[in-house]
Structure 1
Amino acid sequence: MRLAARTLVGICTSVGLLAGPAAAQQSITVAAFPAVDEIVRAALPAWQQLHPTVAVKVVSRELNDHHTAMTTALSTAVYLPDVMALEVGYLGRFAQGAGLEDLARPPYELRRYQARFVPYAFEQASTPAGAVLAVPTDIGPGTLLYRQDLLAKAGLGEANLTGSWEGYVAAGVKIKAATGAYLLAHARDMKDILIRTGIQPGEGMYFDKDSRPLVTTARFVRAFELARAVRQQKLDARVTAWSSDWSEGFKRGGVATQMSGAWLAGHLNNWLAPSTRGLWRAAQLPEGAFAAYGGTFFAIPRLADAANKPLAWQFIQLMTLNRARQLAAFKSQDAFPALLETYDDAFFDEPLAFLGGQRARRDWRTAAGQIRAVQVHKQDAFAREVIDTELDKVLERGKAIDRALADAQRLLQQRALR
């Protein structure tokens, strides 16, 4: 799940749970970010039934602040939580160090539960050496959300968007001519999806298994070319995700499509653009592509209090292997479950009023089964910044694509093994 900036917590907050009037004899700390913190708090009554004398303290920070704090805690062994939530985009910086417990080893033996999880999500937390450093709790199957009313005004249908990426851009030209709406919020969105497609087994998004950068491959060249085509034809609103202009574009019908994780439909419905309910539809990504946007994991710091580790593991099991808790998170926070045994629930078949009664969760479930695992790397976050910077130079200054990617390749080669 990729969580928005609407619930930012400026300072750490905590919630304790005590059973009855007596003080708890033991407590564990769970560090999380919005809205994972809310999912954790909602699970506390179930935890209380299992462990009535064990309190749970929830420490919540904004997404980036949380991961910065976790990095510091792991490197200094100070203020370590017993359980930490990790967003997949940050997982790489933790997965190649020695700061997290290997959950494949006793007493955890997580691999005995592997078949119960969406395959690609489980593999993302696995290392080439066979360690498993975190447990997936939610995922983000990629989807194409589009305004049905704007397409109709342009005389287009869903197939015009999904047949090919070039066709998608061509449809954007017609949409803008007929309605004035932009195809995309930002040309960077085109790059973001295309670098997620065509990844070969054993590869990461930016690096191969030997830490060699992949950013001059055909995957990145095509992503940059199509992003440039979007900008040259003035098909993007040039607004960044989670900004006020971004949300206004959705509210006012100024942006016709958005590629993201399935969770975005819930955000649009609940707070981003509820007035547009019924106007949106969801489709699989163009050209038969399948990709993931976001996902959350739970991990145990290796140097956390040893006395609390059995309880930490039991708490993670409650959050990730309990069907009822996984479905509760899905229904309340649009946290698409990583637990496969939830996928036969009737909730997947319910029509979504925001999507005009479409039963879109079925398609998202299908996408979840088609997504390939992408190996994470400790420099993924840095690589993303480098690629975004080079794309901006292409879009804003006319820098040649081959030169931009070659410059990115050199910089990532220097940084890869640090």
Structure 2
Amino acid sequence: MKRILGLFVVLALGNAAQAATLTVNCFSNMNVSVEAAIPLWKKLHPDVDIKVNTLAYGDHHNALTTALATGSGAGDVDCVEVGFVAKFGESGGLEDLLKAPYNAKQYQSKVTAYAWAQSTNPDGGLYVFPADIAPGTLFYREDVLKKAGVSAASLTKSWESYIAAGKKIKEKTGAYLLHNAGFVAQAYIRAKVPAGESLFFDTKGQPVLNSARFVQAITLAKQVRDARLDANIAEWSPEWTDGLNKGRIATQPFGAWFEGTMRSMIPETAGKWRSVDLPEKSYATWGGSFMAIPKQSKQKELAWEFLKFFALNKEVQLNSFRVNSSLPSLKAAQSDALFKQPVEFLGGQVARPMWVRAANKVKGIESNRLESVATDAFAAALDRVLNNNVAIKTALDEAQSTVARRLNR
């Protein structure tokens, strides 16, 4: 009897030794998609557990910065937002997925083109893999526009007609065109990126924050502010939520993923919103998530299996969209019947084909390691113009100098 019991103990220990736990470090919101994929993963890999560690967006990326610099603290798989792709790629702490044993180039045709371009570092390496995409769109309150006698077409004909529509909306209803004038500038710079350039840098990697694109972007934003068409409040603030909820904000340019956010943030407005392309049928990207394998991972083969499972499995990508409105980067998922269904929150509008079309019209632009620095510099310039009456050229020249100094260190 003791010999049999001993055999059971040995077998139990043997099974425990074979079990594995894969750690995925994520930022909040994307963790919802990862956690939703675990039951599907367990069906294929019952002997491998997934542990998801979640931090707030900024905290996660700060922690990953430290982990890659020190060689300790990263996950087996780490989530990365688009603004940090090049920075982490140049850190030397991530696996190049184009190299063996990953050989990710074979999957390029399966992924939305602009997302693949974003994944590629200036050195030609692929240190992250696209997980979801975020084409830009313009959400608007159908009830507010009807009350103002404004058509959706007037919002999209041009950037100038968008502002003109805002004046009529304000006059007829008292509602603001949008929560903050700066978002007009943010939408414009994303929608007007010249071929070959990235959001803030030219083809040679030099900053372009004082170029004509940025001058026009802030000019439009200032027109909105001077006409008092924005509420001058910050996104994610209680005032912003309240304004969206009560119809005091008529439009919201953002990534298509924001439809899912609104569903949980302002559920009582369901059916009142619609979505259209950005003005002038502009196509832009507004966010996007990726996955990377840190070199310090002790389970790289398993990590690669999970990354492929998450990014290249149609059902996983669709499930992520269902729970989190994360638009799939996988082309095969974008053609699913799910995308042709009416969107209840948008009053039954069949909006998803429009978002997919927009995503596949976005120009492929590479990321830059100083993108987060340039983002902050441009935001500071916007703030100085809109809130401190600094001249546009002065503010943008200073933003340009700030990024150029960092680039030349």
TM more than 0.5:
yes
Alignment check: 8 A CA contact 1:188 1:391 kept: yes
Distance 2:63 2:174 in 1: 44
Unmatched 5+ residue regions in structure 1?
1-20
Distance 1:296 1:141 in 2: 12
Q: Secondary structure at the match of 2:97?
A: coil
In structure 1, give the amino acid aligned to 2:63. A
Alignment check: 8 A CA contact 2:32 2:323 kept: no
Q: Secondary structure at the match of 1:196?
A: helix
Question: How far has the Cα of 1:216 moved from its partner?
Answer: 1.2
Query: What does 1:188-337 correspond to in 2, within 5 Å?
Result: 188-269=182-263, 271-305=264-298, 308-337=299-328
Distance 2:134 2:81 in 1: 11
Residue equivalent to 2:122: 128
Alignment check: 8 A CA contact 2:36 2:323 kept: no
Residue equivalent to 1:8: none
Q: Deviations over 1:234-255 (max 9, x none)?
A: 0111111111111101111110
In structure 2, give the amino acid aligned to 1:343. Q
Q: Secondary structure at the match of 1:205?
A: coil
Q: Secondary structure at the match of 1:294?
A: coil
Distance 2:390 2:351 in 1: 40
Q: Secondary structure at the match of 2:287?
A: strand
Residue equivalent to 2:345: 354
Query: What does 1:19-58 correspond to in 2, within 5 Å?
Result: 25-58=19-52
Distance 2:60 2:345 in 1: 32
* RMSD, aligned α-carbons: 1.4
Q: Secondary structure at the match of 2:51?
A: strand
In structure 2, give the amino acid aligned to 1:298. M
Is structure 2 residue 397 aligned with structure 1 residue 403? no
Q: Secondary structure at the match of 1:195?
A: helix
In structure 2, give the amino acid aligned to 1:131. G
Q: 2:93 aligns with which of 75, 96, 99?
A: 99
Q: Deviations over 1:99-139 (max 9, x none)?
A: 11110111111110000000000110112332111111111
Q: Give structure 1 regions of 4+ aligned residues with deviation exceeding 4 angstroms.
A: 21-24
Distance 1:55 1:353 in 2: 35
Residue equivalent to 2:137: 143
Q: Deviations over 1:352-391 (max 9, x none)?
A: 1211110000100110110112221111111111111111
Distance 2:192 2:30 in 1: 30
Question: How far has the Cα of 1:398 moved from its partner?
Answer: 1.3
Query: What does 1:362-381 correspond to in 2, within 5 Å?
Result: 362-381=353-372
Distance 1:25 1:155 in 2: 64
Distance 2:17 2:251 in 1: 52
Q: Secondary structure at the match of 1:359?
A: coil
Is structure 2 residue 52 aligned with structure 1 residue 61? no
Alignment check: 8 A CA contact 1:211 1:417 kept: no
Distance 1:99 1:133 in 2: 9
Alignment check: 8 A CA contact 1:141 1:364 kept: yes
Residue equivalent to 1:4: none
Percent identity among equivalent residues? 42
In structure 1, give the amino acid aligned to 2:65. T
Distance 1:356 1:41 in 2: 29
Q: Secondary structure at the match of 1:383?
A: helix
Q: Deviations over 1:154-208 (max 9, x none)?
A: 1110111000001100100000000000001001101111111221232111122
Deviates more, 1:21-30 or 1:71-80: 21-30
Is structure 2 residue 73 aligned with structure 1 residue 79? yes
Q: Deviations over 1:20-54 (max 9, x none)?
A: x9575322211012222222222222222332222
Distance 1:358 1:53 in 2: 43
Distance 2:378 2:32 in 1: 33
TM-score computed with the length of structure 1 as normaliser: 0.92
Distance 1:153 1:53 in 2: 58
Alignment check: 8 A CA contact 1:327 1:342 kept: yes
TM-score computed with the length of structure 2 as normaliser: 0.94
Residue equivalent to 2:3: none
Distance 1:53 1:391 in 2: 52
Alignment check: 8 A CA contact 1:196 1:205 kept: yes
In structure 1, give the amino acid aligned to 2:83. G
Residues 354, 255 of structure 1: alpha-carbon distance in 2 compared, 3 angstrom cutoff: same
Unmatched 5+ residue regions in structure 2?
1-14
Distance 1:48 1:150 in 2: 47
Distance 2:40 2:391 in 1: 56
In structure 2, give the amino acid aligned to 1:251. N
Q: Secondary structure at the match of 2:357?
A: helix
Distance 1:96 1:112 in 2: 23
